[in-house]
Amino acid sequence: MRVIFIGRLHPIKGIERLFAALARQQEHVTLDIYGSGASAYEATLRRQVDVLQLGARVCFHGHVDDEGKAQAFSKADVMCLPSHSENFGIVVGEALAHGVPVVTTTGTPWEGLETERCGFWVQPDEEALTEALARLEDCDLSAMGARGRKWMRRDFSEDGVVNAMLSLYRERLSIQR
């Protein structure tokens, strides 16, 4: 299973927990990291990969633009955002729009992953990430990805947002009458 992380390399993103969870997965589970950050922190991440003996399973690709993201999503089975805290975490929506299931934490506002059945929304700790990644081994990732894509089209596409705003305006107008 090919897991990807796309984002800024920063301690708030929880990448260290993802490494620890990966170390507890079967050896065919790999991680591709797309993003950049402070060189000292990147060096810390690379050292942790070495300490956990994950060198053959983790690949750092550096920063990617939109085309690079699309290529990364096309090669991924799952996207993981193990953040401590996110205002939104747009990469979650991007992954889902590309049909890639997502694992993220309750530090993000993506609880819909569970209700839409297109990923897992877990506690921001190593154990929860470990369990979520292991559970994915028994999931139909293609079906999860299709449900995620459908959700993004329904609720986050231009038409979806316009329809939601129209409904809100209609509701507010009927309350004021």
Q: State the pLDDT at residue 164.
A: 64
Give 108-128 pLDDT, tens digit per residue.
999 999 999 999 999 999 999
Whether the full predicted model's pTM is greater than 0.85, yes or no, is: yes
Which of 11-15, 161-165, 170-174 has the highest mean predicted lDDT (pLDDT)? 11-15
The model's confidence at residue 162, banded by pLDDT at 50, 70 and 90, is low
Q: Tell me if 97 sits within 8 A of 149, measured CB to CB.
A: yes
In angstroms, rounded to a whole number, what is the distance separating the alpha carbons of residues 56 and 138? 24
What confidence category does residue 170 fall into, taking pLDDT thresholds of 50, 70 and 90? confident
Q: So what's the pLDDT on residue 177? A: 58
